[in-house]
Amino acid sequence: MTSIGEVKLALDQGCELLRDAYRCVREAQGALDEAVDALGKASANHHQPLVPPEFARAREMFEDELELIVASLELARRLTTEL
């Protein structure tokens, strides 16, 4: 049988992983924004757009992923508190 302390430790570790994931997603989001800006500027001197349309969808997905991570982190914290 697992003790409450072990469950709390596992939840704390999970929260740390979620915080790491949040930071990684934010960094990736920033890198994509920089790439879109650079490609957008380069497109001004090119006969067709250089920014792939998938980049716009990726930007939307970043927001969804960040919301999911935050919601998961909040639930894990709440569960830890209730234990």
In the chain, % of residues over pLDDT 70? 99
The dihedrals phi and psi of 52, each to the nearest 5 degrees, come to -65, 140
pTM of the model: 0.82
pLDDT digits (tens, 9 = 90+) for 28-67: 999 999 999 999 898 888 888 889 999 989 988 999 999 9
In the chain, % of residues over pLDDT 90? 69
User: Does residue 1 register a pLDDT over 70?
Assistant: no
Q: What does the angle CA 34 – CA 24 – CA 6 come to, to the nearest 5 degrees?
A: 170
pLDDT, position 2: 78
Q: What does the angle CA 70 – CA 74 – CA 78 come to, to the nearest 5 degrees?
A: 170
Token representation of residue 40: 């957008």
SS3 per-residue string spanning 10-79? HHHHHHHHHHHHHHHHHHHHHHHHHHHHHHHHHHCCCCCCCCCCHHHHHHHHHHHHHHHHHHHHHHHHHH
Q: What's the chain's average pLDDT?
A: 92
